[in-house]
Structure 1
Amino acid sequence: MEKHLINEAVSTLDLQGSNVKVKSAVEDKDLQASVSACDTQQPSSEADKGTPVQVNGNDTTSPNKGETGMETDKENTNEPTRNPQVYGEAKDGHAKKTKSKEKNRLTIGDIVALSFLINRGYSFGKLKINRARNQAALKKKIASIKSYGVISPCLVVTARDCLEAGLEIIWFDGKAITWDTPNLDRILIVIDGEHRHVAVQQINSSLKSGEEKKECYYYLPIVNTVPILELLRQSNVVTRPWGGSDFLTSLIMSNEEAAKNEMLLWVQSKLEKLGDTATWEWVKLNKLGVPSRTKLIKAAGTDEKAETTYKEISDSSKFERGKSIYDAFARTFAESILGCKFFPEWVIGKLDELDYMPGPEAAKKIIEFASRLTRSDADKVEKIKGADRAQNVRNALDALYNERMK
């Protein structure tokens, strides 16, 4: 990797006076387009697949756990290296000073390239409770990286540290990472920078002829006394204004009951692709059941009002009914339209019309209607556009209901 790219990566992050190293596989030919999220058969860590480029600094202790996580070098030095030397071989062919012993492990103070990690058998996962990716933000990040590259690294911790902290972690395809998963010390869990990480994977998986692969960069927490969940909160609260999904995630992280509540977990899992309002309306079957940000914040607190607010938000009396109706329509309709609030609001309106029936019976009638719809019916509804789309979709659903439920 060219030296100016290394300097750019280092200069973009304030590492609180800490020592910095940058490791990268200089030859880009071994860079994989994306990390296989569920491949538990890690490549050998002994393989020497590329000369690392290092900006030399001092190693410190491991984050969160002194005895576990990645192996680290310990060197008691109070003053960081202010004018680091670059080690390795430059792309222009000029020889640089090289270290006699190559390090295959990530330590505090390192900024390490994706290619370096892949060549040494590392893979990536994420916290199960991390906030949903924002697709609009991801598109913008892809455009930015294509133009400028990754200008700041992603914060990671080891899978072992997460499991020891009692946290649920998953591969990027959703499969669980457990104590039975091999090589936990070589699975890096992305705490901050998931959009960057995923953007690089998507870019590298769809390169055209002549296009160069993009590097992503990673580092361990500089402050090793902060719990992982607090790292997540503090890393994300400022980078992008929080939305309703993020406040729900914060509630789930801070409340043990919330972390086990099936309804809240279902809502959180759907918020990546569905709108906030629509998702809550599906599980509450009530237009007034959508909790405000203020309530979500209050429920995550520790005072007396927090418990009362939490009970209101977590009321799942209609969850199974709403989820069953959603699942029935999801067999035919795309998530994109089910995530628009006018769809669950049409369902809520129809249930109100059937209020002469017991609630479960009315729900069965809606589910029966959904089962009679075809993909062709769904296509016609989904293609409705324009300023009056919401009303026109409701009219189309009414017409289909009257036709199929005679």
Structure 2
Amino acid sequence: MKQLVISSVELNRNFAFVKGNRQINAKAVAAKVKSIREYGQLSPITVVKGEDVYLSGGHLVDLDGNDIPDEQTENYFAVLDGQHRLMACLKLGMNLDNLVIAEPLNVEMSIVALIAEMNICTTAWKGTDYMAAPCMALEMKENEVFEFALELRRKNYPLSTISQWCLGKNTLKPRDFVNAIKEKKLPKAFENSAWYQRSINWYRVAQEKFSETFLAKKYLIGYIIDQGHEAKDPTAFYAQIEERIEQLTDEQAKLIMNPPKGLVTREQLIIDNLVEYLGR
């Protein structure tokens, strides 16, 4: 039997997260707040040096999700396990310098494998969680389509809606991201940016009119895709839809998002209103 000896050492580093790791869950943080308030920190937070993440091909973000320059990684500890405990301590106003941290016991595993074993194996991954794997494990060149996908993931969009906004079709599957690790490159679908060049403009305009909750439910992007397929001139329709969204009044946008109850389903009412106010 080996005894783990924990000592107090002054370490002048801030905390950071590994870019692409699963998102913070507000309910999980609330539960940790309740526990830590009553019992204190019960187990160490597992960290590695920030520069080790960078040297393994990963990147860091601060506790608010903002990118940290790679040349500054040596100023941080990257949290591999304990994100929710850390955020709970932050909410409680605790001095983060007093937290107990520990390095992984298995020093031979890769950082992405450590995160997987510590986090994924305890709670089954959802569709968008699989996007974390290539983001953490691959040395990726800039890819604006994948960056857009990650932006939507951070806003809790489901994988099917992310696929439609980024690619124009619901084809992205969790296995695509698993294969990306094996092949050491992003799914091939992200190589084509033609759809993204149009959809990013629709999305930015739509953000001014609709809530993120509504946009995440694929009503709008589904309408655009369907109408584009049916249009005699899809190119002309796609070119016009940005302006049509921009011209929506606040009242029309509210009616689309929250239609009055009728004789048909809410989904059908939303689709009917989209057609009425945005046209075919």
Which category of TM-score, normalised to the shorter sequence, fits these structures?
0.7 to 0.9
List runs of 5+ in structure 1 lacking aligned partners.
1-15, 24-102, 106-120, 206-212
Displacement of 1:317 after TM fit?
3.3
Match of 1:190 in 2: 79
Match of 1:324 in 2: 201
Structure 1 residues 72-124: Cα deviation after superposition (integer angstroms, max 9, x where no partner): xxxxxxxxxxxxxxxxxxxxxxxxxxxxxxx323xxxxxxxxxxxxxxx5422
CA distance in structure 2 between the partners assigned to 1:275 and 1:179 by the alignment? 29
| 1:220 counterpart = 2:107 | no
| 1:237 counterpart = 2:120 | yes
Match of 2:153 among 260, 265, 271: 271
CA distance in structure 1 between the partners assigned to 2:36 and 2:272 by the alignment? 43
CA distance in structure 1 between the partners assigned to 2:103 and 2:26 by the alignment? 26
Answer whether contact 2:133 2:181 (CA < 8 A) is retained. yes
- Over aligned residues, Cα RMSD in angstroms? 3.3
Displacement of 1:137 after TM fit?
4.3
Count the aligned residue pairs.
275
Shift in alpha-carbon separation, 1:18–1:344, aligned structure 2, 3 A: farther
CA distance in structure 2 between the partners assigned to 1:276 and 1:348 by the alignment? 16
CA distance in structure 1 between the partners assigned to 2:101 and 2:265 by the alignment? 47
CA distance in structure 2 between the partners assigned to 1:232 and 1:341 by the alignment? 31
CA distance in structure 1 between the partners assigned to 2:30 and 2:229 by the alignment? 40
Displacement of 1:337 after TM fit?
0.9
CA distance in structure 2 between the partners assigned to 1:190 and 1:298 by the alignment? 26
CA distance in structure 2 between the partners assigned to 1:22 and 1:344 by the alignment? 54
- Name the SS for the 1:155 alignment partner: strand
Shift in alpha-carbon separation, 1:312–1:270, aligned structure 2, 3 A: closer
| 1:400 counterpart = 2:263 | no
Answer whether contact 1:126 1:169 (CA < 8 A) is retained. yes
Answer whether contact 1:351 1:363 (CA < 8 A) is retained. yes
Answer whether contact 1:127 1:190 (CA < 8 A) is retained. yes
Match of 2:164 in 1: 281
Structure 1 residues 155-193: Cα deviation after superposition (integer angstroms, max 9, x where no partner): 212223333334221212343323554xx5452221222
Displacement of 1:346 after TM fit?
1.6
TM-score relative to the length of structure 1:
0.58
CA distance in structure 1 between the partners assigned to 2:249 and 2:6 by the alignment? 58
Answer whether contact 1:132 1:269 (CA < 8 A) is retained. no
Match of 1:350 among 219, 227, 243: 227
List runs of 5+ in structure 2 lacking aligned partners.
none
Answer whether contact 2:33 2:89 (CA < 8 A) is retained. yes
CA distance in structure 1 between the partners assigned to 2:268 and 2:42 by the alignment? 45
Displacement of 1:329 after TM fit?
0.5
2:272 counterpart letter in structure 1: N
Match of 2:252 among 370, 374, 377: 377
Displacement of 1:347 after TM fit?
1.9
- Name the SS for the 2:121 alignment partner: helix
Structure 1 residues 260-300: Cα deviation after superposition (integer angstroms, max 9, x where no partner): 432123212311322221111111222xx332223432343
CA distance in structure 2 between the partners assigned to 1:328 and 1:204 by the alignment? 38
Shift in alpha-carbon separation, 1:377–1:122, aligned structure 2, 3 A: farther
1:362 counterpart letter in structure 2: F
Displacement of 1:314 after TM fit?
4.9
Structure of higher CA gyration radius:
1
CA distance in structure 2 between the partners assigned to 1:341 and 1:151 by the alignment? 42
Match of 1:5 in 2: none
CA distance in structure 1 between the partners assigned to 2:274 and 2:2 by the alignment? 61
Percent of aligned pairs sharing the same letter: 22
Answer whether contact 2:19 2:136 (CA < 8 A) is retained. no
Match of 2:48 among 148, 152, 157: 157
- Name the SS for the 1:318 alignment partner: helix
Structure 1 residues 349-386: Cα deviation after superposition (integer angstroms, max 9, x where no partner): 222233x2243x32221101111123443334334588
TM-score relative to the length of structure 2:
0.81
2:122 counterpart letter in structure 1: T
